[in-house]
Structure 1
């Protein structure tokens, strides 16, 4: 299979457009097939023997092998470019970690409009001003001129900050360029059982719901559905997943991305009943009691299944 064929196959498999330029050994940004809502949410990397495409919206990752029709000299050229790109990626990751630390250092604990919009008017988080974001991280992290401040959510692997997510007043979320988020999470609170969530607002809802029935859990923000599966592999004790009810997609056998990856973990999971919603939506639309019923039903069912095994 030629490089062009491998690119086309990988991109179509995950629902993204082929990138407009070709470079080797580095992730190339492109758009998904979902139009304006998928702008910049596709990634593709070309290596000596294979092409990998990633859809950030769905978390789907597909690798397609390149056949033997690539000339030896071309493979050597590609290998050199890949080695250069690898060193650059490592440098970008180190720089992103430094920026993430600096953003956390510049942040102050306080309320934020995003939290109020999600039903947590009195909740406090680490908040950084737009001036500090521009100074420390760059203009690309600011989605529009009217932004004033963002919530900073550090992404950690083994206790070390590797990147951060910024959430602005309008709900736009930005990650640091080059930062490592695969396998990274943010711990919202610590307790006995562990609950895995994709987003910050969902994690706040899960924590609030369980605290309301005198349960103190560990709640982790995992940033994406596919990352939940990666993090779940290294956890012990009881673990539950607060999944989102995503739109079903053909590449996930008719399941939404969140449910698809939750099933891959073989862990107990729950999700709200309406397609296109998460547990924070259920919290705001129905009440925190509706969330509590869903989570307690999941825990009770998991206990019954364990007792029957």
Structure 2
């Protein structure tokens, strides 16, 4: 299979558009097939023996082998480019970690409009001014001139800051370029059992629901559905997942991305009943008591399953 054929097959499998640019050993950005909503959410990496395509919206990834259709001299050229790209990725990751650390040192604890819009008017988080974000991280992190204050959510792996997410007043989310996020999480609270979820606001609702039942959990925000799998691999003890009720996808056998990846962990999970909602939506649309019933049901099913085994 030629490189172009491998690119085409990999991209069609995960539902993204083949990138116009060509480069080796680095992620090439492209769009998904979902139109405006998928702009910039596709990634493709071309190596000397295979092509990997990734759909950020669904978390789906696939690798397609190239085969023996690449000439030896071309493989040598590709290998050099891959080595260069690896060194650049390492440098980008180090820079992102440094930028994230500087932002954390600059940020302060305060209220934020995003938290208020999610039902946590009195909740304080790490906040950082748009001017400081531009100065430390770059203009690309600030969506437009109207943004004044970002909620800063650090991403950590084994306690080490590797990247950061900025959530702006209208809910727009930005990650640092090059930061290591796979396997990273943000701890919202610490306790005995562990709950994994995707978004920050979802984690706050899970914490509030469990605290209301006198349960003190560890709540980890994992940033995406697929990353929950990576985070879960390194956890011990009782672990649960607060999944989202995503749109069913054919490539996931009719499951939404969040439920698909929750099942991959083999951990107990639950999700709100309404399509296109998460536990923060359920919290705001119904009540914290409805969230409590949902989480209690997850824990009860886990107990019954353990007793039956």
* TM-score where L is the length of structure 1: 0.99
Q: Which residue does 2:236 correspond to in 1? A: 236
1:152-195 residue CA offsets vs partner (Å, 9 max, x unmatched): 11100011000000000010100000000000001111000000
RMSD over equivalenced CA pairs, Å: 0.6
- Residue 163 of structure 2: SS of its match in structure 1? strand
Q: Which residue does 1:91 correspond to in 2? A: 91
- Residue 40 of structure 1: SS of its match in structure 2? coil
Q: CA deviation at 1:222?
A: 0.3
CA distance in 2: counterparts of 1:111 and 1:39, whole angstroms: 31
Q: How does 1:1-309 map to 2 (within 5 A)?
A: 1-309=1-309
CA distance in 1: counterparts of 2:24 and 2:306, whole angstroms: 48
Q: CA deviation at 1:275?
A: 1.0
CA distance in 2: counterparts of 1:297 and 1:279, whole angstroms: 14
CA distance in 1: counterparts of 2:64 and 2:225, whole angstroms: 22
1:87-106 residue CA offsets vs partner (Å, 9 max, x unmatched): 00000000000000011111
CA distance in 2: counterparts of 1:282 and 1:290, whole angstroms: 7
Q: CA deviation at 1:69?
A: 0.8
User: Unaligned stretches of 5+ in structure 2?
Assistant: none
CA distance in 1: counterparts of 2:10 and 2:144, whole angstroms: 33
Q: CA deviation at 1:220?
A: 0.2
- Residue 241 of structure 2: SS of its match in structure 1? strand
CA distance in 2: counterparts of 1:45 and 1:30, whole angstroms: 11
CA distance in 1: counterparts of 2:50 and 2:118, whole angstroms: 42
CA distance in 2: counterparts of 1:279 and 1:142, whole angstroms: 27
CA distance in 2: counterparts of 1:241 and 1:116, whole angstroms: 25
- Residue 84 of structure 1: SS of its match in structure 2? helix
- Residue 299 of structure 1: SS of its match in structure 2? helix
Q: CA deviation at 1:291?
A: 0.3
CA distance in 1: counterparts of 2:253 and 2:76, whole angstroms: 39
Q: Which runs of 4+ in 1 moved over 4 A?
A: none
Q: CA deviation at 1:144?
A: 1.5
Q: CA deviation at 1:305?
A: 1.2
CA distance in 2: counterparts of 1:37 and 1:147, whole angstroms: 21
How many pairs does the alignment contain? 309
CA distance in 2: counterparts of 1:94 and 1:177, whole angstroms: 11
- Residue 292 of structure 1: SS of its match in structure 2? helix
